[in-house]
Amino acid sequence: MKNQIYPCLWFNGQAKEAAEFYCSLFKNSIITTDTPMVVMFELNGNKIMGLNGGPQFKITPSISLFVLCETLQETRDLWDKLIPGGKVIIPIEKQFWSESYGWLQDKFGMTWQISVVDQPGDSQKIIPSMLFTDEKFGKAEEAIRFYTSVFENSSNEALIHYPDGEPNAGKVMYAEFNLNGNTVAAMDGPGVHNFSFSEGVSLVVNCDTQKEIDYFWNKLTDGGEESMCGWLKDKYGVSWQIIPSDIGKLMSDPDKSQRVMKEILKMRKIDMETLEHA
């Protein structure tokens, strides 16, 4: 089974404004769905959901968007466009692993890691990046093994540990892994951060069948916890949405959308048959 995985960003009424802003920064970007609740958009072909969820949850740096830019100038330009109204987490400058790297929080609260590609000619990438902090510190490599066991056709693309002799030796400095065609990054975050994973940024898994929904729900709630409307938390605290691939079509059907939403609000795990017959 091939399941698309993409981030969902939780906003307090600013999803459309944020989507328009982000689309203005990246080539080949477009808003594909615009409803009062959900705004779907693509940044250079990378699918993202913006959710007008209200003030209940806040975005944290535990899942950021890691952008690899093609040139040093593109890296600097993107930083300069994202930083107004936001704040610097790590200043953009040369690092031993990158000619130019920085981490920021934009005016909507979303956090971005901006870096130039490793090799000239590499194309731009935008991928979700997990940061394991505080009580989750040191769990990144274990989590990667878990996620790659859940999703078919998965692999580790890069795994760099802090070197021997350092206080964080053996912990994950940077890792990149593939979940059935979807690239995700992960790092252990040393020090005290006072934030962790939250519903502010979740990962959506599109499923074509009820069997797939059941599979991912059971695997990812093992050691975690169920929530409502297709949401769950895994044993590391990462929030996931396990939803039908055609949920957008069901939600946009003027004859069914209100009935579909009414049914979704009753559910923990999504029941596709119930939605289709709503």
| Digit-coded pLDDT (tens) for 134-186 | 999 999 999 999 999 999 999 999 999 999 999 999 999 999 999 999 999 99
Q: Can you list the domains of the chain with their CATH numbers?
A: 1-56+199-278 (3.10.180.10), 60-197 (3.30.720.100)
Answer whether 184's CB lies under 8 Å from 129's CB.
yes
Q: Is the pLDDT confidence value at 48 over 50?
A: yes
Q: For residue range 52-87, list pLDDT tens digits in order.
A: 999 999 999 999 999 999 999 999 999 999 999 999
Q: What is the pTM of this model?
A: 0.95
SS3 of residue 106 by DSSP: coil
Q: What integer is the mean pLDDT of 187-196?
A: 94
Percent of the chain that is helix, strand, coil (3-state, to 5): 25, 35, 40
> How many helices, marked H, and strands, marked E, lie in the chain?
7, 16
What is the average pLDDT score of the chain? 94
Task: Categorize the per-residue pLDDT at 1 as very low, low, confident or very high, splitting at 50, 70 and 90.
Answer: very low
The number of residues in the chain equals 278
Strands (E), the chain: 5-11, 30-34, 38-43, 46-52, 63-69, 87-95, 98-105, 111-116, 125-132, 155-161, 172-179, 182-188, 201-207, 225-226, 231-233, 239-244
Q: For residue range 94-147, list pLDDT tens digits in order.
A: 998 899 999 999 999 999 999 998 777 677 899 999 999 999 999 999 999 999
SS3 of residue 251 by DSSP: helix
